[in-house]
């Protein structure tokens, strides 16, 4: 997940005010204005609830590269849920896709409702947010008292994020997909051309199910199967990060200066012992906080998203085994989008919770069946994902959801990209999504990392050709 900073969009006039005063939604004119250097920004109004009239509207923030207005629009989404597509596009434009893609399309970034500049979820107590992601109780890890402490803290946090703004039950993926259709209409697109990464693949698949005749060129990279239960998703992710950790160790053991020795299993045991120690004893750092079990897990996972980050993980373990938790804490800060000097760079964490919980959740009744499978999925990580139901207990369920048919015939066949060693969205989900969506082709990258398009010499030309109009008749393409 790429978490980057940028300015808030500058909007000429309020789209919400105009719509509230009687302007029909589809008569809105997108007023672009200069904002971040080299970019233009705008905002449109969308109904709070697309399924029932409420009289309320959310604002959807948009951005594009200056001087690209005459190119055909391509909506792009970086994932999350909760990541700002506006900031992602502005700060990482040159790394999105390929130079060919950027020269042929008007890349259109947007903040899904609840994130960034689009009627965002706001948590008023930053200190409480710090406690959620960095503190730990004085009780034995996993004990009833420890669980009660976590429940209380998470409840207070969820409530602090709902004191202002709209009911977050309206921030579902289905409502956001309907916002995409509004963007398509207002941009004058005959069909929606779309590039979605990670959670962005779920958003794209939901759009396809809701508006099958409007699907244009659609690439879904780092795919999520929207029909998979939350419990199965969690187990798959835990297993995925466990596999990535083993891949890291196998590579590390061939490198000079690796903080591990012996076999991969011995490395796993050493990491397990290190984490067990963090349950009771924090490590000092060179900043104003210490490294406990929560940020230790987050720091490790942050570095497993891409093979390019593995050297940072080796540095973190080398320091940590020597009694200094600084680098691992900074990896956790990156994962949590926290500023090292205090505060947070975005609302990605609370937006992630709000959207995820509005879409679906694990209930307490499911936990007894899931926990043995969770522990079995990873000897290292499993125990730290117990009681998964408590994260959503105080967040609203989704409003306006309907049952979707993901197998409905589509106007154009999507291209689904899956990486065999993807830790965050396991490859099996890409296989499932490609079978689920009408006519889809699966592009498999045999390798490591989360998502593949943009910097891969085999994947990139195949995706570029698809966006240029290439139709793949085969069911699977393989890179590796």
User: pLDDT tens string for the chain (480 positions)?
Assistant: 233 333 333 333 477 888 888 889 999 999 999 998 899 999 999 999 999 999 999 999 999 999 999 999 999 999 999 999 999 999 999 999 999 999 999 999 999 999 999 999 999 899 999 999 999 999 999 999 999 999 999 999 999 999 999 999 999 999 999 999 999 999 999 999 999 999 999 999 999 999 999 999 999 999 999 999 999 999 999 999 999 999 999 999 999 999 999 999 999 999 999 999 999 999 999 998 999 999 999 999 999 999 999 999 999 999 999 999 999 999 999 999 999 888 999 999 999 999 999 999 999 999 999 999 999 999 999 999 999 999 998 999 999 999 999 999 999 999 999 999 999 999 999 999 999 999 999 999 999 999 999 999 999 999 999 999 999 987 889 998
CB atoms within 10 A of CB 407: 13
Q: What is the pLDDT of residue 1?
A: 29
Q: What is the pLDDT of residue 269?
A: 97
Does residue 114 come out as left (phi exceeding 0), alpha (psi in the -120 to 50 range) or beta?
left
Q: What is the pLDDT of residue 44?
A: 97
pTM: 0.94
Q: What is the pLDDT of residue 118?
A: 97
CB atoms within 10 A of CB 258: 15
- Listed in sequence order, the residues at least 6 apart from 258 whose beta carbon sits closer than 8 Å to its beta carbon are 252, 314
Q: What is the pLDDT of residue 204?
A: 98
Q: What is the pLDDT of residue 394?
A: 94
- Structure tokens that stand for 397 in this block: 């369920």
Kindly give the interhelix angle for 230-252 and 264-278, rounded to the nearest 10 degrees.
Answer: 120
8-state DSSP, 8? P
Q: What is the pLDDT of residue 8?
A: 34
Q: What is the pLDDT of residue 480?
A: 86
- Residue 124 φ then ψ, to 5°: -80, -20
All domains in the chain, ordered by first residue:
67-120+174-228+404-479 (3.40.50.1820), 123-160+230-359+362-396 (no CATH)
∠ CA 104-105-106, nearest 5°, is 140
Strands 57-65 and 39-47: antiparallel
8-state DSSP, 9? P
Contact of 124 with 343, CB cutoff 8 Å = no
């Amino acid at each position: 997940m790429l978490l980057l900073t940028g300015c808030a969009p500058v909007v000429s006039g309020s789209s919400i005010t105009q719509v509230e005063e009687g302007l029909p939604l589809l008569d809105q004119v997108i007023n672009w204005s200069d904002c971040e250097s080299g970019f233009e920004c705008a905002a449109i109004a969308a109904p709070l609830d697309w399924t029932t009239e409420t009289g309320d509207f959310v604002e959807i923030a948009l951005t594009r590269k200056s001087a690209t207005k005459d190119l055909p629009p391509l909506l792009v989404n970086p994932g999350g849920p909760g990541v700002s597509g506006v900031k992602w596009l502005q700060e990482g434009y040159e790394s999105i896709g390929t130079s060919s893609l950027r020269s042929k399309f008007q890349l259109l970034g947007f903040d899904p409702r609840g994130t960034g500049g689009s009627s965002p979820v706001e948590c008023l107590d930053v200190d409480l947010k710090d406690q959620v992601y960095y503190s730990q109780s004085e009780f034995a890890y996993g004990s009833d008292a420890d669980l009660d402490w976590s429940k209380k803290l998470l409840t207070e946090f969820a409530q602090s994020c709902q004191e202002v703004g709209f009911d977050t039950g309206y921030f579902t993926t289905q409502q956001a997909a309907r916002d995409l259709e509004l963007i398509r209409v207002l941009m004058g697109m005959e069909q929606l051309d779309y590039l979605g990464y990670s959670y962005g693949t779920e958003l794209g698949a939901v759009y396809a199910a809701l508006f099958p005749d409007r699907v244009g060129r659609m690439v879904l990279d780092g795919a999520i199967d929207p029909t998979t239960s939350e419990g199965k998703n969690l187990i798959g992710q835990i297993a995925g990060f466990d596999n990535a950790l083993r891949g890291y160790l196998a590579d590390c053991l061939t490198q000079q200066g690796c903080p591990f020795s012996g076999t991969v299993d011995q490395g796993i045991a050493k990491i397990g012992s290190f984490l067990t120690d963090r349950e009771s004893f924090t490590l000092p750092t060179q900043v104003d906080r210490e490294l406990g079990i929560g940020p230790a897990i987050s720091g490790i996972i942050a570095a497993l998203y891409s093979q390019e980050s593995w050297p940072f993980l080796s540095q973190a373990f080398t320091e940590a085994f020597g009694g200094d938790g600084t680098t691992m804490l900074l990896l956790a800060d990156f994962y949590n989008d926290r500023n090292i000097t205090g505060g947070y760079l975005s609302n990605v964490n609370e937006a992630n919770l709000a959207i995820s919980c509005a879409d679906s959740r694990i209930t307490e009744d499911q936990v007894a069946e899931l926990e043995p499978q969770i522990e079995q999925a990873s000897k290292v990580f499993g125990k730290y994902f117990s009681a998964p139901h408590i994260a959503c207990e105080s967040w609203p369920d989704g409003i306006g959801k309907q049952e979707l048919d993901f197998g409905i015939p589509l106007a154009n066949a999507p291209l689904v990209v899956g990486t065999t060693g993807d830790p965050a969205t396991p490859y099996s989900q890409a296989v499932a999504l490609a079978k689920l969506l009408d006519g889809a082709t699966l592009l498999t990258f045999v390798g490591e990392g989360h998502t593949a398009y943009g910097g891969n010499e085999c994947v990139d030309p195949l995706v570029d050709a698809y966006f240029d109009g290439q139709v793949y008749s085969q069911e699977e393409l393989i890179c590796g």
